[in-house]
C-alpha cells in the first residue's frame, strides 16, 4: 500500500461521522433548561461504544461502513498513543504488529475512552456531552488526541 493511499484512508477515517454511546451506572439527566445531558457526580462508566458512519453528500444521508472500509489501513505504525476526553494517554499495539485498520482504530478509541473518560468532568460529573467524533490529531508530543464535539 502506498503512503498516498494510507493518507487518503486516514483522511476518510477522520471525516467519519458518529458519536460514542456512554452507558452509566445512573442515567444522565438534562441540565437546567438546556437539552444538554449531565452525568450525576456519583455515576460511573459501565461501557462505551463508538458508532461511526459515512456521510454521503450526494444522497444527503449517513450510512454504515462497509466491511471493505473497515479493513482499510489508515496508520502504518506498530503502536499508537491515544488521548481521550479524560486527558489520559492509552497506548495501543497494532493487532497485526505493523498497522491499524479503521476497525482497529474504532476499537482503540473505545478502549481509550473506557479507560480515560471517567477522569473527565463536565457539569459536576463525567463528561457525557462531548461525544461527536471530530477526528484524531497528533500533538506536539507525538500522541494522538481524539477530538470530541458537542
DSSP 11-69: HHHHT-EEEEEEEESS--EE-TTSS-EE--TT--EEEEEEEEEEEETTTTEEEEPPHHH
State the pLDDT at residue 2: 81
Q: Write out the three cell numbers for 34.
A: 438546556
Nearest Cα neighbor of 90 from 75, 104, 120, 110 is 110
- Residues 45-55, mean pLDDT to the nearest whole number: 96
State the pLDDT at residue 150: 86
Q: What is the pTM of this model?
A: 0.93
Instruction: Indicate if the pLDDT at residue 1 is higher than 80.
Output: no
Instruction: Indicate if the pLDDT at residue 139 is higher than 90.
Output: yes
Q: What is the maximum span of the chain, computed from C-alpha positions, in angstroms? A: 51
- Alpha-carbon torsion, ordered 12, 15, 19, 20, to 10 deg: 50
Instruction: Indicate if the pLDDT at residue 111 is higher than 90.
Output: yes
Instruction: Indicate if the pLDDT at residue 87 is higher than 90.
Output: no
State the pLDDT at residue 86: 86
Amino acid at each position: 500500500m502506498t503512503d498516498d493511499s494510507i493518507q487518503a484512508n486516514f483522511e476518510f477515517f477522520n471525516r467519519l461521522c458518529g458519536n460514542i454511546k456512554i452507558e452509566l451506572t445512573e442515567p444522565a439527566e438534562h441540565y437546567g433548561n438546556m437539552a444538554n445531558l449531565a452525568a450525576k457526580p456519583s455515576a460511573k462508566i459501565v461501557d462505551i461504544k463508538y458508532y461511526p458512519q459515512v456521510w454521503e453528500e450526494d444522497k444527503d444521508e449517513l450510512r454504515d461502513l462497509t466491511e471493505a472500509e473497515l479493513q482499510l489501513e489508515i496508520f502504518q505504525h506498530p503502536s499508537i498513543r491515544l488521548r481521550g476526553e479524560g486527558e489520559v494517554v492509552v497506548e495501543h499495539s497494532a493487532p497485526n504488529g505493523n498497522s491499524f485498520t479503521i476497525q482497529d482504530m474504532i476499537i482503540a478509541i473505545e478502549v481509550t475512552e473506557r479507560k480515560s473518560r471517567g477522569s473527565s468532568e463536565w457539569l459536576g460529573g463525567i463528561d457525557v456531552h462531548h461525544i461527536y467524533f471530530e477526528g484524531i490529531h497528533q500533538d506536539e508530543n507525538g500522541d494522538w488526541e481524539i477530538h470530541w464535539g458537542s
